[in-house]
């Protein structure tokens, strides 16, 4: 049995029922087999055994009182997975589906994503099974204050710096920051994604969606092509999806769809970004409202958008949203490129299908690294107590995404598997972390 397969057996034995974490760690380990073969010293140092075990894991009670005076209790998490190359860094997710397996898979993926950014950030992730839908502003604030009242003990600007993710946007970050400051009496960059008036970075809101499009553009340019004139299908209508729509349009593409967990909207004339922002950012409404504003649009309840013919597909909603049948449908309809805006949106079977059918596949840890990259730039602006302009940050983001693409493409070639960007991203992300762990001894 190979070293990698031994570790997979260990993981399966010791993380029963954690299906998302097992999916992410198994896929990662299998893909870096050639890297492990080239580095026998890792096995002697039990490097993988250490890598798959979070450095620290916090689970805590989050009690709060709703508007009717009823006491509610949720379960909070923070996983400090790996600090080899910098302080733990990664978002917080508030969604009813959050459990230990989900936060562990997200934190594990974050290790390699953060490494690929080339910035000095380790990896963490956290969240809560709290459902922000239908909650009043007052309830969200009280929930965030209770969450931070436990979390503040384990985070810090040089220790662990959380940010947003699903269900956590600038409003929640504001409440979390306010409570951290109140408890600790410290005004520091302990969270990223902050509002501009209290230490946030310009272009952080746009960063993940824009970064995804910069990544896709770099990839297409390397093939003497571009996004101009391409039909793009996008899922989700949250932070990542909105700014992917905006930048894809700016690059001359036509975005045909957006979605939420209730269904998708297809606009044959291209999604109108102003209407989208009005519905999702201002009114926080459901996506079906879009068809009330635009006559060319249709709404498909209970469906995902992968049966709409396109050149490029960008899943930007959630994990495991492209299944094998969706992959077959995309392929049949002429899709040439899939890049992941969400974390782990494509199942392993669907990824294999894309690779076997010569569809270019850009994995999340590379394609959606723009958000955490600008978070790292926000940390450096905070510690210098200065701020950069939108244009400066946006230009840095574009360079980072281009570099990520070229680095992972080179890494794939180095392991004799040109075009396998899954191998490229995992290998390049892993090698930097592995090198730092080897240098720091058995810790």
Contacts with ligand 2IT by CB under 6 A lie at 89-91, 113, 163, 165, 192, 343, 371-372, 375
The distance from CA 431 to its chain's CA centroid, rounded to whole angstroms, is 21
CA angle 93, 377, 276 (to 5 degrees): 50
Shortest Cβ distance from residue 49 to ligand NDP (Å)?
A: 27
Which string of x and - marks every residue 302-341 that binds ligand NDP (by CB under 6 A)? --------------xxx----------------------x
What CA–CA distances, in Å, run from 50 to 125, 260, 312, 406? 18, 38, 38, 29
Residue 231 or 368 having the CB closest to ligand 2IT: 368
> Binding of ligand NDP at residue 260 (CB under 6 A)?
yes
Q: What are the distances in angstroms from CA 261 to CA 238, 288, 301, 352, 392? A: 11, 11, 9, 25, 35
Report what 89 binds from ligand 2IT, ligand NDP, none; CB cut-off 5-8 Å by kind.
ligand 2IT
Give, rounded to a whole angstrom, the gap between the first and last alpha carbons of the chain.
26
Residue 113 is among the residues annotated as catalytic for this protein: no
238 lies in the site for ligand NDP, by CB under 6 A? yes
Dihedral angle sign, alpha carbons of residues 275, 280, 286, 287: positive
- CB closer to ligand NDP, 99 vs 261: 261
CB of 343 to ligand 2IT, least distance (A): 5
Question: How big is the chain, counted in residues?
Answer: 443
Least distance to ligand NDP, CB of residue 34, Å: 27
Least distance to ligand NDP, CB of residue 158, Å: 22
Residue 239 interacts with, from ligand 2IT, ligand NDP, none (CB under 5-8 Å by kind): ligand NDP
Question: Rounded to the nearest 5°, which phi and psi values hold at 132?
Answer: -70, -15
Residue 236 in the binding site for ligand NDP (CB under 6 A): yes
Nearer to ligand 2IT, 146 or 192 (CB): 192
- Strand, helix or coil at 122? coil
Q: How far is the CB of 168 from ligand 2IT (least distance, A)?
A: 8
H-helix or E-strand spanning residue 392:
helix 390-414
CB of 185 to ligand NDP, least distance (A): 29
Structure tokens at 157: 């600007």
Residue of this chain nearest to ligand NDP (CB atom): 238
Q: With binding defined as CB under 6 A, does residue 166 bind ligand NDP?
A: yes
By the rule CB under 6 A, 206 interacts with ligand NDP:
no
Q: CA dist 180 to 27, 48, 146, 161, 262, Å?
A: 37, 35, 11, 12, 35
Number of residues that bind ligand NDP (CB under 6 A): 24
125, 247, 280, 388: the active-site residue: 125
Binding mask of the shown chain, residues 371 to 390, with x at each position contacting ligand NDP by CB under 6 A: x-------------------
C-beta separation of 403 from 221 below 8 A? no
Detail the DSSP E strand segments found in 386-437.
none
159 vs 166: CA distance, rounded Å: 23
Phi, psi of 319 (to 5 degrees): -70, 150
CB 193, min distance to ligand NDP, A: 7
- Choose the one of ligand NDP, ligand 2IT, none that binds residue 82, judging by a C-beta under 5 to 8 angstroms depending on kind: none
Q: Are 124 and 81 in contact (CB under 8 A)?
A: yes
Give the C-alpha distances (Å, rounded to integers) separating 428 from 1, 20, 59, 70, 431: 25, 23, 31, 50, 5
Tokens representing 338? 């899939």
Q: Pick between residue 204 and residue 304 the one whose CB is nearest to ligand 2IT.
A: 204
**Residues at the interface with ligand NDP (CB under 6 A):** 95, 97, 164-167, 208, 236-241, 260-262, 316-318, 341-343, 368, 371
**Which are the catalytic amino acids?**
125
């Amino acid at each position: 049995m190979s070293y990698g397969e031994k570790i997979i057996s260990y993981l399966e034995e010791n993380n029963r029922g954690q299906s998302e974490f097992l999916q992410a760690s198994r896929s990662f380990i299998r893909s870096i087999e050639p890297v492990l073969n080239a580095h026998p010293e890792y096995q002697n140092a039990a490097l993988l055994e250490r890598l798959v075990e979070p450095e620290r894991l916090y689970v805590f009670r989050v009690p709060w009182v709703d508007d009717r005076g009823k006491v509610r209790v949720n379960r909070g998490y923070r996983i400090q997975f790996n600090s080899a190359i910098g302080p733990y860094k990664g978002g917080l997710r508030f969604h009813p589906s959050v459990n230990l397996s989900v936060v562990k898979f997200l934190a594990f993926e974050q290790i390699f994503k953060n490494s690929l950014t080339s910035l000095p950030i380790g990896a963490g992730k956290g969240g809560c099974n709290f459902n922000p839908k239908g909650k009043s502003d007052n309830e969200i604030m009280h929930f965030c204050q209770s969450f931070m009242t436990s979390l503040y003990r384990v985070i810090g600007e040089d220790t662990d710096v959380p940010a947003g993710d699903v269900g956590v946007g600038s409003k929640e970050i504001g409440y979390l920051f306010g409570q951290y400051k109140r408890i600790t009496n410290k005004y520091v960059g302990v969270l990223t994604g902050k509002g501009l008036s209290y230490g946030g970075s310009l272009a952080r809101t746009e960063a993940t969606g824009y970064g995804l499009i910069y990544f896709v553009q770099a990839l297409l340019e390397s093939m003497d092509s571009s996004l101009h004139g391409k039909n793009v299908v996008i899922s989700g209508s949250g932070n990542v999806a909105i700014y992917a729509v905006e930048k894809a349009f700016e690059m001359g593409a036509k975005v045909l769809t957006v979605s939420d967990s209730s269904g998708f909207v297809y606009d044959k004339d291209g999604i109108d970004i102003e209407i989208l922002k009005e519905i999702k950012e201002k009114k926080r409404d459901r996506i079906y409202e879009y068809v009330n504003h635009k006559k060319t649009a249709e709404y498909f309840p209970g469906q995902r958008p992968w049966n709409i013919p396109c050149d490029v597909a960008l899943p930007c909603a959630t994990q495991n949203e492209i299944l094998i049948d969706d992959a077959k449908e995309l392929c049949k309809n002429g899709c040439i490129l899939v890049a992941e805006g969400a974390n782990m949106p494509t199942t392993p079977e669907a990824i294999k299908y894309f690779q076997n059918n010569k569809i270019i596949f850009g994995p999340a840890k590379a394609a959606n690294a723009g958000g955490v990259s600008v978070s790292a730039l926000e940390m450096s602006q905070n510690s210098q107590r200065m701020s950069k302009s939108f244009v400066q940050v946006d230009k840095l983001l574009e360079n980072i995404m281009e570099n990520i693409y070229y680095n992972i493409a080179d890494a794939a070639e180095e392991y004799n598997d040109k075009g396998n960007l899954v191998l490229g991203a995992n290998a390049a992300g892993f090698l930097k972390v592995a090198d730092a762990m080897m240098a720091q001894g058995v810790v």
